[in-house]
Amino acid sequence: MTPKLRMSYAVSTLIVSSVTTFLLPLDYTVASVALRDIHREFPVSFSDQQWVINGYTMAFAALLMAGGGLADLFGRRKVFLSGLAVFTVASLLAGLAPAMVWLNVGRVAQGIGAAGMFSSSLALLVQEFTGPRRVHAFAVFGVASGLGASLGPFIGGLAVNLGGWRWAFLLNAPFGIAMLILGLLRTRESRDPHATRLDLKGLMLFSGAVLLVVYSVVTAPQIGWSSPTIVVTLAAAAVLTLAFIPVELRQPYPLIDLRLFTNRTFLGASLAPLVLSIAFWGLFLYTPLYFQGVLDYTPLQAGMAMLPFAVPLFGAGPLGARLANRISSRSLLGLGQLLVAIGATVLAFAPLHSDWTNYAIGGLISGLGTGLINGEMSNVAISIVPASRSGMASGINSTMRIVGMTAGFGGIGAVLAAAVSHDLTAQAGKLHGLQHNLGTLATEVATGNINGTTASVPIALRSAFQTAADHAFSTGMRTAFIVGACVAFLGAIASFALIRRPQAETTENSADPQPLADAQA
């Protein structure tokens, strides 16, 4: 293959990977803005509505490692394009769904397709780019991922305002078809030559454990962490995890090479996306609820109010790539998480019942920190494993991101719900006649459905309850921001403590089957 043709394939691979990576987190956040309009057409309970988000997330998280293993075995291009085809068709199904059940089926299918795409996209980039060019390619990839998540509320609000909630899902189709054609024409196949079979036992144990953990995290805020269902589910997840470890250690070719986690650099680089997804994206998903619930913004206004979080990602990705060639990975990843911690702290100290302008500075700082390291996290983790196992490394990195986002959504939601309940209970003296029902009301307020909850109380108490609910949700958001700041700060410390390999070495991906030895601290 001539250098010019090789460059053509590399650029096409970067375009396909980046555009589809933009769509995947976009699809996670865009649904949060469309939920209220979905409820008007399909009037089910709020917890049932949440499965529009949770069904996608659970399928995505549970099958990411399966996608990585299949990509190494059967071919990264084949798995990627198959996942893209499933995702595109599922987007059409979700957008055209005649009933809630079909919408949820479409969302689960989207998650399945997304797992195949996301788990193999990084491996496709590893094949085409090396050295400093890889750093820049991963920076573009990180910008695309960050923008997809950050612009989700804005694009979703615009789609809902202009064409209705269905366009929040239908807009994936034209992009999916275009990228499928480009991928068929201008991407190259690669696989692990040493892979002979899929680790089915490990796959079932790991996917089952992730599925149970994700289910627990997204369900617990509605039914309580002490619920027998949650206790049993988490216990079952622990049993599957304990069974998974010896199974993988005995496998000659495991789904996840657990020895990787004895390498401090790989561990630190794997923790970073987990931390960032909890501290930034977990908070990001709830902030539009504040704008819509407390400030009564429309979906489009709420999406526009979130732009300060997204704007830094346009410039921070390329800036992060330049910094990656000048400072160590530990310094860059630590700096990014520290900025997220500072931004969340600024958000926490915004006045209660603030409008969007009081959130802009904290959003800009947090977005800057996220944009700086979104690509470098993947680059460090994947560049220190053998090229032949890049599908596995990509799957681990992607799983950390999605599990972190799910943990952030569920965990931050639990913090928010507890803070709202505590604040409303403290105001019980002002809400005579509602004390016996405050627990149920607090649960509804914590979803951001403040106007709907207010409409359910007696007319004489609505004004007092609206004021109390607005205060409670604002207080809950402040508490959530403080938790997010603490998580990001601990993540920054972990990166500084664990990551040891100089940046110059991480940019070169060796085919040496033992590339980790020199990264041991």
pLDDT 10s digits, 220-278 = 767 777 889 999 999 999 999 999 999 988 887 787 888 888 888 888 888 998 898 88
Per-residue pLDDT averaged across 129-146, rounded? Answer: 79
Per-residue pLDDT averaged across 275-284, rounded? Answer: 84
- pLDDT score of 503 more than 50: no
Residue 510 confidence (pLDDT): 40
Per-residue pLDDT averaged across 168-195, rounded? Answer: 88
Per-residue pLDDT averaged across 391-397, rounded? Answer: 73
- pLDDT score of 63 more than 80: yes
Residue 388 confidence (pLDDT): 67
Per-residue pLDDT averaged across 178-191, rounded? Answer: 91
Count of CB atoms situated within 10 Å of the CB of 313: 24
Average pLDDT of every residue of the chain: 82
Report how far residue 19's alpha carbon sits from residue 243's, in angstroms, rounded to the nearest whole number: 38
Residue 110 confidence (pLDDT): 93
pLDDT tens for each residue of 476-493: 999 999 999 999 999 999
- pLDDT score of 139 more than 60: yes
**Mutual orientation of helices 390-426 and 200-223 as an angle, nearest 10°?**
10
Which of the two residues, 410 and 104, has the higher pLDDT score? 104
Residue 521 confidence (pLDDT): 40
The candidate with the shortest Cα–Cα distance to 157, out of 42, 273, 297, 284, is: 297
Residue 516 confidence (pLDDT): 42
391 and 76 in contact (C-beta within 8 Å)? yes
**Sorting pLDDT into bands at 50, 70 and 90, what band is 391?**
low
- pLDDT score of 34 more than 90: no
Highest mean pLDDT (candidates 319-323, 457-461, 472-476, 502-506): 472-476
Outline where 129-171 has alpha helix (H).
131-150, 152-163, 167-170
Per-residue pLDDT averaged across 294-302, rounded? Answer: 82
Which of the two residues, 516 and 398, has the higher pLDDT score? 398
Residue 200 confidence (pLDDT): 84
Highest mean pLDDT (candidates 78-82, 279-283, 373-377, 384-388): 78-82
Residue 513 confidence (pLDDT): 40
Tell me what percent of the residues of the chain surpass a pLDDT of 70.
91
Composition of the chain by helix, strand, coil, percent to 5:
80, 0, 20
- pLDDT score of 133 more than 60: yes
Which of the two residues, 427 and 177, has the higher pLDDT score? 177
The torsion defined by the Cα of 15, 17, 20 and 21, in degrees rounded to 10, comes to -120
Report how far residue 184's alpha carbon sits from residue 78's, in angstroms, rounded to the nearest whole number: 9
Per-residue pLDDT averaged across 57-73, rounded? Answer: 81
Tell me what percent of the residues of the chain surpass a pLDDT of 90.
23
Residue 1 confidence (pLDDT): 67
64 and 115 in contact (C-beta within 8 Å)? yes
Residue 506 confidence (pLDDT): 40
Residue 221 confidence (pLDDT): 67
Kindly state the tokens that stand for 38: 């979905």
- pLDDT score of 393 more than 80: no
Per-residue pLDDT averaged across 394-415, rounded? Answer: 77
**Sorting pLDDT into bands at 50, 70 and 90, what band is 505?**
very low
Residues in the chain: 521
376 and 329 in contact (C-beta within 8 Å)? yes
Highest mean pLDDT (candidates 162-171, 173-182, 205-214): 173-182
DSSP state of 44: -
